[in-house]
């Protein structure tokens, strides 16, 4: 049985535009195609005794150009690679995608992710060796689209001049059962899709491990007010960034904050604050937060085995030292209460 994947992340924008249109109309332009009727170029005719002067700036190379024309041109934007691995670099070329990792341990972990996907039958394998794997057919389907894409890949580990990474390259393709019609744009799109498929699983596994570590370590997270290197006030939580990031949303929810947006790679949370009832502060045995109702942003910094916490208002200005000083004991008390529960 060939695995079928619904592209919920990468196809989100495509699917959202597809409610009232067919698959072809989303890939094809619907405007004027009169440029196809352009007459062929003719030889320039000089006037008698005219000295010709030409610029090579607009010269068209004399060779055959092969590619789609008119309604065969795919107007969809290129598939973006989701940068889900912190510190990784992504190289795209005409043949495939290479992911370079900062450390050899990360590259090894990424390969372990592929092993787990193979074990879970998410990636069917035709051949496997220490030098890499050749997949069997993977079937990609997009909701509300009548197109079914099948493709096979070669995935190999990379090591060049001390750099470690992973390369994935399409070796075979079918659209609706036919192997015709593979354009460079389509090849690039589904090479990027394969990269996203693997890195999304990698990110998911790390998140789950961080969640488990957070549950194990959250019982002892001292929180205090300190100073950064420039002498400005900052809250310090004595827990690794990954652990504190997974736990913080539950803590903030108990304190009257509503999370509107968050970005793990940047360590930012956008919040709406509404002071809770007095019973909340009485239960936590702390003074109420010195914050007015409104929008705030929290920025977390990775300090190794600690996490820094900065708070800014809706204008992007840091809140007062008094506000930070009131937040530190509240966070600590909320963590203790969650531990008791």
Contact predicate 202/110, CB 8 Å? yes
Answer whether residue 45 is part of any domain. Answer: no
Q: Exposed, middle or buried: residue 136 (CB in 10 Å: 0-12, 13-18, 19+)? A: middle
Contact predicate 101/87, CB 8 Å? yes
The residue-averaged pLDDT of 63-81 equals: 79
Confidence of residue 212 (pLDDT cuts 50, 70, 90): confident
| Residue 280 and residue 181 share a domain | no
Answer whether residue 319 is part of any domain. Answer: yes
Statement: residue 92 has pLDDT above 90: yes
| Residue 155 and residue 119 share a domain | yes
Statement: residue 245 has pLDDT above 50: yes
| Residue 160 and residue 120 share a domain | yes
d(CA 84, CA 202): 8
What residues pair up with 120 in beta bridges, in sequence order?
none
| Residue 172 and residue 123 share a domain | yes
CATH number at residue 110: 3.30.530.50
Answer whether residue 290 is part of any domain. Answer: yes
Structural domain range at position 278: 223-340
> Considering the chain, what is the average pLDDT of its residues?
84
| pLDDT (0 to 100) of residue 219 | 65
Statement: residue 17 has pLDDT above 50: no
Answer whether residue 184 is part of any domain. Answer: yes
- Cβ neighbours, 10 Å, residue 6: 11
| pLDDT (0 to 100) of residue 319 | 92
| Residue 111 and residue 189 share a domain | yes
Cβ within 8 Å of residue 120, ≥6 positions away: none
CATH number at residue 332: 3.30.310.170
Answer whether residue 42 is part of any domain. Answer: no
Question: Could you say which of 187, 216, 245 is where a domain stops?
Answer: 216
| Residue 252 and residue 165 share a domain | no
Among 68-82, 170-184, 322-336, the range scoring the smallest mean pLDDT is 68-82
| Residue 243 and residue 211 share a domain | no
| Residue 205 and residue 247 share a domain | no
| Residue 174 and residue 298 share a domain | no
DSSP string, 300-333: EEE-SS-EEEEEEETTSPBPPHHHHHHHHHHHHH
Give the residue among 169, 158, 154 at the shortest CA–CA distance from 110.
158
Question: Could you say which of 161, 192, 216 is where a domain stops?
Answer: 216
Length of the chain: 341
The residue-averaged pLDDT of 43-56 equals: 81
Q: How many domains in the chain? A: 2
Structure tokens at 54: 């030409």
Q: pTM of the predicted model, to two decimals?
A: 0.56
Confidence of residue 2 (pLDDT cuts 50, 70, 90): low
| Residue 209 and residue 164 share a domain | yes
pLDDT tens digit sequence for 251-308: 899 899 999 999 988 899 999 999 899 998 999 999 999 999 999 999 999 988 889 9
DSSP string, 280-291: HHHHHTSPPPS-
| Residue 258 and residue 202 share a domain | no
| Residue 277 and residue 229 share a domain | yes
Phi-psi domain of 178 (left: phi exceeds 0; alpha: psi -120 through 50; beta: other)? beta
The percentage of residues in the chain with a pLDDT greater than 70, rounded to a whole number, is 88
Answer whether residue 25 is part of any domain. Answer: no
Answer whether residue 67 is part of any domain. Answer: no
Question: Could you say which of 216, 231, 256 is where a domain stops?
Answer: 216
């Amino acid at each position: 049985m060939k695995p079928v994947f619904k592209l919920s992340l990468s196809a989100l924008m495509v699917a959202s535009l597809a409610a009232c249109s067919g698959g072809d109309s989303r890939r094809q332009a619907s405007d004027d195609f009169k440029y196809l009727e352009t007459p062929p170029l003719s030889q320039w005719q000089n006037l008698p005794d005219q000295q010709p002067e030409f610029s090579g700036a607009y010269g068209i190379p004399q060779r055959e150009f092969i590619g789609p024309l008119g309604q065969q041109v795919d107007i969809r934007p290129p598939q973006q690679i989701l940068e889900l691995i912190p510190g990784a670099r992504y190289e795209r070329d005409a043949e495939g995608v290479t992911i370079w990792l900062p450390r050899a341990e990360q590259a090894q972990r990424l390969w372990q992710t592929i092993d787990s996907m193979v074990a879970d039958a998410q990636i069917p394998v035709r051949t496997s060796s220490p030098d890499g794997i050749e997949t069997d057919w993977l079937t990609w389907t997009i909701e509300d689209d009548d197109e079914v894409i099948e493709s096979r890949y070669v995935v190999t580990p990379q090591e060049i001049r001390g750099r470690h990474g992973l390369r994935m390259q399409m070796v075979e393709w079918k659209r609706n059962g036919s192997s015709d019609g593979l354009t460079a744009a389509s090849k690039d799109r589904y090479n990027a899709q394969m990269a996203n498929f693997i890195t999304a699983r990698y990110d998911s596994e790390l998140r789950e491990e961080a969640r488990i570590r957070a549950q194990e370590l959250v019982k002892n997270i001292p929180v205090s007010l300190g100073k950064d290197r420039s002498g400005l006030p900052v809250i310090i939580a004595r827990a690794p960034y990954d652990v504190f990031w997974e736990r913080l949303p539950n803590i903030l929810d108990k304190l009257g904050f509503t999370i509107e947006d968050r970005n793990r790679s940047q360590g930012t949370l956008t919040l709406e604050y509404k002071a809770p009832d007095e019973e909340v502060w009485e239960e936590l045995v702390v003074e109420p937060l010195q914050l007015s109702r409104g929008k705030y942003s929290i920025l977390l910094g990775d300090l190794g085995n600690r996490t820094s916490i900065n708070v800014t208002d809706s204008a992007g200005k840091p809140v007062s030292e008094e506000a930070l000083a009131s937040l530190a004991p509240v966070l600590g008390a909320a963590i203790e209460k969650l531990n008791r529960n």
